[in-house]
Structure 1
Amino acid sequence: MQLEQSYASEPVVEVASRPELWRTIVVLFKLRVVSLLLLSAFGGAVLGYLATGQSSLWAWLVLTVSGTLSAAGASGINQYLERERDTQMRRTAKRPLAANEINNPLTVLWISMGMILLATLLALTVNVETAVFILLGAIIYVGVYTIWLKPRTTLNIVIGGAAGSCAVVSGGAAMGGWSETAVWLLAALVFVWTPVHFWALALAYRDDYSRAAFPMLPACTAPHTAARWIALHTLFTVAAGIGLGLVPQVDWFYLLPITLLSLLLIKRTWQLLAVPEKQPALSLFHYSNIYLAVVLLVIMLAPVWR
């Protein structure tokens, strides 16, 4: 009886189930965003390969692992640094660090920094340029965007979009083609696409960003003004997307689906201009994801039809 009582008095340690653990990892390291960045790197790699003819299984493997580690590590640091402000936003209040699901947040910081370091060292086994652009992407996202620009200026995401461009160029570098025109055109596409994507989200949740004191452009201007800025960057995005079809590595086959997708992107943007409210903004946000993903997938299929 005494033995039973002593066992009953022991504190119960709750162990997260596998689905809960996986959900924490996905959200903490923003793996959905990472997957799109990885596609961007693959798109750059294909364009680099088509320009140089260089490719190896090792380069592809390293690009996949190091790109994932670096992007996930940068996302982990971002959530560590913004954990207090995340509690002020309905959209982010349930993130693991904001919701106090992790007992020692500093552990996340150290693990994330280690991931970026490991990614950089691994990328060096391919070439210096790949390592430079993988590390530069993390530095821009954490240092330039998260720490410097995001809390201070409405231009934060405009410049912060360079982090995504670095993913593209790292892919090109892995195939020996980081300086190729096609690679930089795709990097430019990601750069001008980023404000369309994130400003649409910020317009949908402008009150959230205001509460957290983040000066995102849609939270600091009238909705109609923000919609016009989004429309301007939509035109830049479409121009870059169509322009990619004019380089020798891609050619006309790419233009068929991308022209149609570009028209649909313009349509969604026009709907937001007409009604600059949450639902049209979210519609554009989700469609912009589809747009970039399809552009990248079509580019990745280029070696098949060439």
Structure 2
Amino acid sequence: MLLGQEAVLELLCCPVSGVSLEPLDTNVLVAYSTDGTHEYDVVDSYPVLIRFENSILDKSDIQRLSSTVHRQSYGGVFSVAKRLACPPSHVTKGNVELLLDTLLSQQNSARVLIVGGGTVGCGMEPFYTDPRIELVSFDIYASPSVQFLADAHNIPLVSESFDAVIIQAVLEHVLRPEEVVAEAYRVLKIDGLVYAETPFLQHVHEGPYDFKRYTESGHRYLFRCFSLIKSGASAGAGTQLLWALDGFFCGLFRSKIIGKFIKLCLCWLQYFDRLIPEAYNVDAASGVYFLGRKTREAIKDLSIVEYYKGAQR
């Protein structure tokens, strides 16, 4: 469940200096450090903790608390259609269950951070409803599912304060994913867990805020400072084909509506993911996932070649 704002404030720190924040008044937080004083606005109870001089984010947009990307809301028949076209992922469901079981097997509660939690992610509902989870969430826009605004390249939270970090459908939207993963590593406790889902073969989404893609092996190497618990394709070749057809017909007819209509008509293609062997899904995945544990020793470069899990042996 979402942690209360007072408890969250105790975990916050300056994204520039890393020192603790103090309230200057009801609308400003301040950090006093050897390199100077840093002030951050609190807008409608949301602390805005972003180093704008080191970010692609525009201060005026962020301080309006709105998303820089239009996010469509669905209701009625459109909600049903969206659920048919993009049903809950059985892979994510299983991974979330494993993550929760691992977190709570030896302790009664766990503190979890969701990076990019402005919208509740696919399969992430248990973290918001389980009373044993102390949940902290942030994004670059305000919503009921976040407690503050921040840039994931500079997470304004004290080091070694979380049992788990979740990064779902975020790393494709940051300029320097290695820095984001390093920040996740920093805020995790010793032996803390990370779970990430990232696209591989998907067309551009969220327009100018889409930058990266990863093969399954490349994704593993990105998390090389974590020991492997589980990894693979979060969505396989069938889902990838559905994405491709959506993009193809959208471009052919210059119409997003037609692309989505075709995607809805052919949504059954994604169920072939379950019939295709994992090794082939890995090579043609729509998206990949990684679940791992913080470790002191990074994997060696040579081992990533041996790690390959696809069908092209």
What's the TM-score, normalizing by structure 1? 0.29
Structure with the greater alpha carbon radius of gyration: 1
Structure with the higher helix share, 1 or 2: 1
Comparing both structures, which one devotes a greater share of its residues to strand?
Answer: 2
